[in-house]
Amino acid sequence: MTTPARSRLTRPRLPEPRGPVSAGVVEALRSGGSPVTGGAEATADPYGEDLQLALYVLYELHYQGFEGAPADDSREWDPGLLALRATLEQPFLAALRADAERPASAAAALDALLVEPAGHRPGSVSHHLRRTHRLPELREYAALRSLYHLKEADPHAWMIPRLRGRAKAGLVAVEYDEFGAGRAEDVHARLYAELMAELGLEPAYGHYLDAAPAAVLATVNLMSLFGLHRALRGALVGHFAAVEVTSSPGSRRLADALRKAGAGPAAVRFYEEHVEADAVHEQVVRRDVVAGLLADEPELDADVAFGVAATSLLEDRLGALLLDAWTRDRSALLPGHHAEAVARPA
């Protein structure tokens, strides 16, 4: 029988810093003061552990916040924290623009995602997990993806006030499904918490932040970066479309992997829900959200294409990290955290 996912009213604790920038952010939140980084943000790797953790913590102030951060509700719009965030966003966004492919158009970028190989695809995490169906790897994957799935669809909700007409209606229709279609028990974040409990993982929001490498944080930070800047609304639509286009086949493979691994019905249900729902969502997103946005603002076509390409870039980077670890029979979690993904603390 599935262990019910525990309801947590407490916020996640502040993470352990990974360098001078994230140390300055964490200490500022803990003390209530201003961030002191010694100028380290000027040379921080845009994809590195320090910058990505600092960005994640700063973005989290717009979501649930942290335990151990006095008055962090009031610091969501703190000028000093926002200034540092802007400084960190610049190299991250510049790196994405430099490294992501440049599709000819939004339509071309999305069409490329629809090409599914007939057999196993090297470099694909879902193909790998379906083929190996190793429970420790599935647990690690679930733990790492929890940083997004426990707030699934929240970052995309930033789009709602920035769209209009057909695009807004289509987006809200998809988001309504993501948030359980009016049923709290069917909210996708709750279904994911039940998946985690089924796999013996801790389902509390943000629990695995300290275990997640920068490549995981970057995939979540991308949504917040796009969502919190109206100027990047086209890129967020591109990200949203990329997720919906690729979700259904990937979810089918992950559901197969969990069944083969002997996981219970609550674990399988999360992905089965996405197989059917996201097949429909893909059509709504392309026909209404993307097409509606570009009908209103055709000049955003390149931004939508960039959002798709940046999403693929970061997912490929994460996939390479996971598969490199697993093919070497190593944990993909940061050192010292492997046991956390194997069993939920008592």
User: Over the stretch 68-80, which tens digit does the pLDDT of each residue have?
Assistant: 888 778 999 999 9
Q: Reply yes or no on whether the pLDDT at 320 is more than 60.
A: yes
| 267, pLDDT greater than 90 | yes
Report the sign of the C-alpha dihedral through residues 112, 113, 117, 122, in that order: positive
Alpha-carbon distances, residue 33 vs 24, 55, 258 (angstroms)? 10, 17, 46
Average pLDDT of the chain is 92
Binned at pLDDT 50, 70 and 90, residue 43 comes out as very high
Q: Which two tokens stand for residue 63?
A: 């979501």
Average pLDDT over residues 136-146: 98
In the predicted model, is pLDDT for residue 120 greater than 70?
Answer: no
- The residue to which tokens 């390479």 are assigned: 320
Mean pLDDT of 170-174: 96
pLDDT at position 3: 45
Rounded to whole angstroms, the Cα distance separating 217 from 139 reads 18
Q: Which pLDDT belongs to residue 46?
A: 98
Look up residue 113 and give its amino acid: L
Span 202-241, pLDDT tens digits? 999 999 999 999 999 999 999 999 999 999 999 999 999 9
Q: Please write the tens of the pLDDT for every residue from 271-306.
A: 999 887 767 888 899 999 999 999 999 999 999 999
Tokens 């994405």 correspond to 96
- For 48-73, what is the mean pLDDT? 93
**What 8-state DSSP symbol labels residue 186?**
G
Residue 346 pLDDT: 41
Kindly list the distances between the CA atom of residue 297 and the CA atoms of 4, 195, 233, in Å, as whole numbers in the listed order: 46, 40, 11
Sort 132 into a burial class: Cβ within 10 Å, 0-12 / 13-18 / 19+. middle
